[in-house]
Amino acid sequence: MEDRGTRNRVSREILHHGPVTASDLAATLGLTPAAVRRHLDTLTDQGLVCTWDPPEGAPRRRGRPARLFVLTDAGHSVMSTAYDDLAVQLLEFLAATAGPDAVREFAVVRAERLAQRYRPAVDAVGRDPHRRAGALAQALSTDGYAASVRSLEERGRRQPEGEQRPSPGKQLCQGHCPVQQVAAQFPQLCEAETHAFSSLLGVHVQRLATLAHGEHVCTTHIPLNSPTIRPPAHDEPDVTSHEEKSADEHRVAS
């Protein structure tokens, strides 16, 4: 029972900070490196953890590279919210009876409710988008998203062919997604969440990767220099429709 509890701590730490080395896990959890490796071996045998190879071009330390560990899809599923199948069936029914626009509208409403809940904490730190990102990460983590803000140099990423390289800035990383399995079939959830992040942070952000599409973490790029979006005041609800927001963003980009 004690070993199971420790393995859960190891899994949770990987969820929050992966890719992560065994030595970093040992230091954070107050365990010996040998104990951490033993738990990692067990989690690997169970198919819950695997090693992660940095993409080509990512910074590497001198000497023999340490192995980096991330959760597998099975590892994420163990920590996922239940009723994924029911949620998928409900959205499939909604799409079949009311059309795909109804699913998109549901995703927008859900994201706007999240934004309304997080806005007081984000507004409290001022207008700097990177400070706001830190407050958003804390709020997301409270809801189980295992979020953090990292500098671009802290993790490598293979640049997809044809994709424009993002400008310098920060990355909002979410190591866990309670609706990952649902979003894999309904990407409208991720799209609406990205729009909500733009509204909360006051800048146009770019979603680089998602757990729903097979990456080990959801990553949202927050640029250093970008046209700003005026965040609503504390007493001004963000009730702009999805269509109006898209039109506003198009005008700003132009």
Do 121 and 209 fall into the same domain? yes
| Average of per-residue pLDDT values in the chain | 80
Find the Cα–Cα–Cα–Cα dihedral 239, 237, 142, 212, rounded to 10°: 10
Angle between helices 242-253 and 100-123 (to 10 degrees): 70
Nearest partner of 206 among 227, 189, 223, judged by Cα: 223
Q: What pLDDT was estimated at residue 253? A: 45
Tell me the residue type at 207: R
Pick the last residue of a domain from 79, 104, 137: 79
What CATH number is attached to the domain comprising 145? 3.30.1380
More confident residue, 152 or 24: 24
Nearest partner of 129 among 205, 226, 203, 227, judged by Cα: 203
Mean pLDDT of 22-27: 93
Q: What pLDDT was estimated at residue 2? A: 63
Instruction: Give me 97's structure tokens.
Output: 């009876």
Instruction: Find all residues with CB under 8 Å of 236, minimum gap 6, and list them.
Output: none
Lowest mean pLDDT among 28-37, 42-51, 188-197, 238-247: 238-247
What is the domain range of residue 57? 2-79
Do 51 and 101 fall into the same domain? no
Do 29 and 51 fall into the same domain? yes
Q: Which contiguous run of DSSP H or E holds residue 115?
A: helix 100-123
Give the tens place of pLDDT for each residue, 232-246.
544 444 434 444 444
- Domain count across the chain: 2
Distance CA 30, CA 47 (A): 24
% of the chain beyond a pLDDT of 90: 46
**Could you tell me if 229 and 198 are in contact, meaning their C-beta atoms sit under 8 angstroms apart?**
yes
Q: What pLDDT was estimated at residue 242? A: 47
Nearest partner of 217 among 97, 106, 59, 70, judged by Cα: 70
Q: What pLDDT was estimated at residue 252? A: 42
Do 20 and 115 fall into the same domain? no
Do 54 and 109 fall into the same domain? no
Distance CA 119, CA 135 (A): 9
Query: Which residue is it, tokens 């046209």?
Result: 227
Q: What pLDDT was estimated at residue 56? A: 53
Pick the last residue of a domain from 53, 79, 105: 79
% of the chain beyond a pLDDT of 70: 74
More confident residue, 150 or 112: 112
Do 25 and 70 fall into the same domain? yes
Q: How confident is the model at residue 76 (pLDDT cuts 50, 70, 90)?
A: confident
Q: What pLDDT was estimated at residue 134? A: 94
Q: What pLDDT was estimated at residue 246? A: 47
Nearest partner of 159 among 56, 37, 15, judged by Cα: 56
Lowest mean pLDDT among 64-78, 211-225, 229-243: 229-243
Give 216: exposed, middle or buried? Use CB within 10 Å, 0-12, 13-18, 19+.
buried
Report the DSSP pairing between strands 68-71 and 147-151: unpaired
> Which residues of the chain form beta strands (DSSP E)?
49-52, 68-71, 147-151, 169-174, 206-209, 218-223
Alpha-carbon distance values, 10 to 16, 37, 52 (Å):
10, 10, 16
Do 160 and 190 fall into the same domain? yes
Give 130: exposed, middle or buried? Use CB within 10 Å, 0-12, 13-18, 19+.
middle
3-state class of 213 per DSSP?
helix
Do 74 and 88 fall into the same domain? no
Give the tens place of pLDDT for each residue, 217-229.
899 999 876 555 5
Do 52 and 134 fall into the same domain? no
Q: How confident is the model at residue 77 (pLDDT cuts 50, 70, 90)?
A: confident
Quote the pTM value. 0.61
Nearest partner of 196 among 207, 181, 211, judged by Cα: 207
